Amino acid sequence: MSDIQAIQTRLVDDIAAAGDLDALEALRVAALGKAGSITALLKSLGGMTPDERQAQGPQIHTLREAVTAALANRKAALDAAALDIKLAAEAIDMSLPADAAPRGSVHPVSQVMDELAEIFADMGFAVATGPEIEDDWRNFTALNIPETHPARAMHDTFYFPDTDAEGRAMLLRTHTSPVQIRTMMSQEPPIRIIAPGRVYRSDSDATHTPMFHQVEGLVIDRGIHMGHLKWTLETFLKAYFERDDIVLRLRPSYFPFTEPSAEVDVGYKQEKGRRIVGGHGDDDGHAWMELLGSGMVNRRVIANCGLDPDEWQGFAFGVGVDRLAMLKYGMDDLRAFFDGDLRWLSHYGFGALSVPTLSGGISA
């Protein structure tokens, strides 16, 4: 008993005096390794008589447990001391600049959508939305587009094989005009809305994609005329391009849903291969560029929505959001808008806090 107690005292003292993990590991091997002193005592139990085993076995197992506990406690103490030394040596200099973290950006289309909403909100317009999957009545028929119109052809419009409960063909909307129909059928005049959103047409090249973004405007009220339309478009385009020298030219045109109809041209000039909107199209170095379509809402469209065209009149207009972004911010290929190229987005994208306001600047 006294020999085992002496061994325990010696080993525990040596473990407590171990100065590092290497010294502690050497003591563990010397005591508990295959050739260790405690391992030898455990092996000796096999050669003892039952009475000797009963007397010395518990003492040897107690020795092993005491040494194991002492090793664990000393290792924890050495680990804590090593961590304290490491933390003291790795102090952070808070005056150093932080590493730059990757930052996302707002897509130009989203930015321009926000700019348009800000401009038209200042003129009393609300933002209206609608489903991108439409029936052909709201997309075509209610807009006075005849059955034989080319826009209804399969090569221009994406149709679904299904029909709705009333047997009407279903399709991906080709413009946001169905939002105008839905608004006139669900809301009492006067109406002032813009309808931004995605639209779909079977077309693809540098300036056309099968999916693109469009914004349309609609005003329904009493006594509305072309003068109101022209003022609205001039005010909108001057605010959007942030120039006071925007000059419009309205050319007679034809759209089934407006009568009279007008294509709207703006003056522009070329600078370093880029179109800069502004100035009179007939001035030296300038030319005219078609920008959007517009007109007075056709009486048939008003009647199709359950309103009296003798009481209510209105105007409507539509323009591509992607094209507005290209003209203002200098992009030259519409397909790049949807490639998901991070290099393009980091160059043309906007910061998350670049919120357009009329007071702070629409271009953020």
Q: What secondary structure does DSSP assign to 188-238, as a single string? A: PSPEEEEEEEEEE-S--BTTB-SEEEEEEEEEEETT--HHHHHHHHHHHHH
Exposed/middle/buried for residue 22 (C-beta within 10 Å: 0-12, 13-18, 19+): exposed
pLDDT in tens for each of the 364 residues of the chain? Answer: 458 788 888 888 888 888 888 888 888 888 888 888 888 887 887 778 887 777 777 887 888 888 889 889 988 998 998 888 888 887 777 888 888 787 888 999 999 999 999 999 999 999 999 999 999 999 999 999 988 887 777 668 899 998 988 889 999 999 999 999 999 999 999 999 999 999 998 876 666 788 999 999 999 999 999 999 999 999 999 999 999 999 999 999 999 999 999 999 999 999 888 899 999 999 999 999 999 999 999 999 999 999 999 999 999 999 999 999 999 998 888 888 888 888 888 888 888 877 787 766 666 5
Q: Take residue 236 and report the two structure tokens written for it.
A: 């909108």
Domain edges within the chain = 3-88, 108-348
pLDDT confidence of residue 154 = 63
Return the closest-CA partner of residue 203 out of 192, 190, 212, 195.
212
Q: Take residue 224 and report the two structure tokens written for it.
A: 């509305």
CB 68 within 8 A of CB 14: no
Residue with tokens 């034989």: 148
Return the closest-CA partner of residue 307 out of 191, 229, 212, 157.
191
Q: pTM for the complete prediction?
A: 0.70
| Contacts of residue 57, Cβ cutoff 8 Å, sequence gap at least 6 | 45
HSE on the CB side for 12, CA within 13 Å? 15
- Annotation-wise, does 259 bind a ligand? yes
Architecture of domain 108-348: 2-Layer Sandwich (3.30)
Amino acid at position 149, single letter: H
